[in-house]
Structure 1
């Protein structure tokens, strides 16, 4: 029994989630979410320094500051409200194929974390 537990512990400690974050630093991406029982999709283009999002025909631009290989801050260039002035922290949790799972929160409210999945549309 001890050997089985040891083997399980050893195997689980060797498991690591794939995170090839550098593959998602630039490109065109889509994010879909549910709002009021409807699925809505946002498309965004990410360069080394900027992210330009298109949602319901409205474009919005943000500055990207990479904290590390898998985490970055987004700050709106032209915020319309005080809430939009606050940066959003985005952390890539797992990558697979042309998608990645991430979590995000406002920098001033790190306890309210949301999660989602982004899909690459093109390079």
Structure 2
């Protein structure tokens, strides 16, 4: 009987800490992402379909192909890169979701440094 009580207690406390990941809600749509760097706030807005992402950053519009790995991971591949460095893909992964936003991490292909952000669905 003690074992059953202990198992119930463990289940109840662990379920409170589960991270919500309803990734399929964020595959497509229009989003904004804000990030502070060097004391300045930068805002990116983007619209993503199943296979295309169009983003605007500091007045510059850029388009990329989207390749889905699964509901929570995808690659962004620039369509018309201006330099060889710009041609590298970015790998994104959703870490958790809320009703209208998702927290994600991303890194550029071939690089070790990972960044995080939160995108809000419009």
TM-score (norm 1): 0.86
1:78 partner SS: coil
Q: How many residues align?
A: 119
> What residue is the counterpart of 1:104 in the other structure?
106
2:65 is the counterpart of 1:95: no
> What residue is the counterpart of 1:115 in the other structure?
116
Long gaps (5+) in structure 2: none
1:34 Cα shift? 1.2
1:51 Cα shift? 0.4
1:44 partner SS: strand
1:58 Cα shift? 1.0
Long gaps (5+) in structure 1: none
TM-score (norm 2): 0.87
Q: 1:10 to 1:84 in 2, by over 3 A?
A: same
> What residue is the counterpart of 2:31 in the other structure?
29
1:120 Cα shift? 0.6
CA RMSD of aligned residues (A): 2.0
